[in-house]
Amino acid sequence: MDAAELLALDAEHVWHPYGPMPSTIDSLLVREASGVRLTLDDGRELVDGMSSWWAAIHGYRNPVLDAALADQAGRMSHVMFGGLTHEPAIRLAKTLVDLAPDGLRHVFLCDSGSVSVEVAVKMCLQYWQSVGRKEKRRLMTWRGGYHGDTFTPMSVCDPEGGMHSLWRGILPDQLFLPKPPGGFADEPDQDYLELLATEIERHAGELAAVIVEPVVQGAGGMRFHPPAYLRALREITEANDVLLIFDEIATGFGRTGRMFAAEHAGVTPDVLCLGKALTGGYLTMAAALCTPEIADGISRGELPVLAHGPTFMANPLSSAVANASLGILAEGGWKSDVPRIEAALKAGLEPARELPAVADVRVLGAIGVLELDHPVDMAVATEVLTANGVWLRPFRNLIYTMPPYISEAEDLAAITSAMVSAAQKA
């Protein structure tokens, strides 16, 4: 079929994420991808400043990841994980434990980031059930967050500014604190620290866990906050017998300049959620890591098993390519790549501060954000960006980039220039 036939079928049958059916905006047809570039069916090349929703950190057609995938496909593409195990998953779990903050010893491999949040919450709820504290069944978070689109994660996304206000009254009723004030490099707000302590103490009897995205709030607003809030959360939750979940689906594997954002604060949560870049963007896979205390508590309960079992849990293809991706990270190149990208984003986005419609410019690690004072016109923004040879996916009032770590100077210059141009016209 030619491009016109394919796009007609796409419009008729394919429901794209966060879009109506039928779609009101035509999708771009990608023919192939290599390095940091997407080649469209009409021959145009676009620099991918999104890393395919923050996952393809090593770029496309990476020879190491390609080889790992092909080798594993020649051995075993899938096998159920109930009662069976295999080397790629075992190696992956051991590597994640070695990389993760100290104290996280057990790994539950699952299908996607949203599911890892479901599993993390289930771990915490089942822990309290198992130790005889059934009243501890609510979650607390701060506004401005995003944790996924399945039901439990939706319940801890921002209830006003997010995408899930439609489900108010249907989702579990959780507890929300104000957005964490300040930027990454700012001193913590003392009034906010006191508020954290007061509210967690007040609700400790009903709280199973506090869940937050450490340092960077992703799809809820691309906001950065001081690491000191994470240290405070760790101290307050421990003092009040409340568990702590860090959602690092977006920030894990080097994106903020550390392997995990929790390292900026030097603390370990009770449960850690990972996903996205875990497989370098090749296949869907996520993980929920927990401490021995969580696992031991569940094992002593009336139901002594974690009641969760995805069909494709620990898929060998995903596990093998994840091991290869983590192997590339272990070589350490990202430790210089991410600061290099950070410097290029800061320099390239600085001119946007002079634009009247730009409310804020912020950069941390391999994340660059232009916040406008009005919602982005998606059609206009996409037209401007693609005309400048760049693929980005703005949302709400944000034009942002999270480029692959292999992006070169000319790629980053193209991305930042396109963002500034889009901010002028969108």
d(CA 390, CA 417): 9
Q: How far is CA 303 from CA 127, 130, 243, 299, in A?
A: 10, 8, 20, 8
Q: Which of 122, 136, 179, 276 is catalytic?
A: 276
- What are the start-end ranges of the E strands in 219-303? 223-224, 243-247, 271-274, 286-290
Q: What secondary structure letter does DSSP report for 114?
A: H
94 has catalytic annotation:
no
Q: Which of 48, 158, 247, 270 is catalytic?
A: 247
**207-212/243-247 β-pairing:** parallel
Measure CA of the first residue to CA of the last residue in the chain; give whole Å: 34
d(CA 337, CA 342): 9
Q: What secondary structure letter does DSSP report for 86?
A: -
Which residue, 23, 17, 3, 64, is CA-closest to 331? 64
60 has catalytic annotation:
no
- In the block, which residue shows the tokens 């307050």? 236
Which residue, 404, 319, 402, 338, is CA-closest to 65? 319
- In the block, which residue shows the tokens 């539950």? 108
296 has catalytic annotation:
no
Q: Which of 60, 146, 229, 405 is catalytic?
A: 146
18 has catalytic annotation:
yes
Which residue, 397, 342, 401, is CA-closest to 371? 397
* Structural tokens at position 346: 């800061």
Q: Which of 2, 18, 42, 98 is catalytic?
A: 18
Q: Give the residue numbers annotated as catalytic, written as ranges.
A: 18, 146, 247, 276
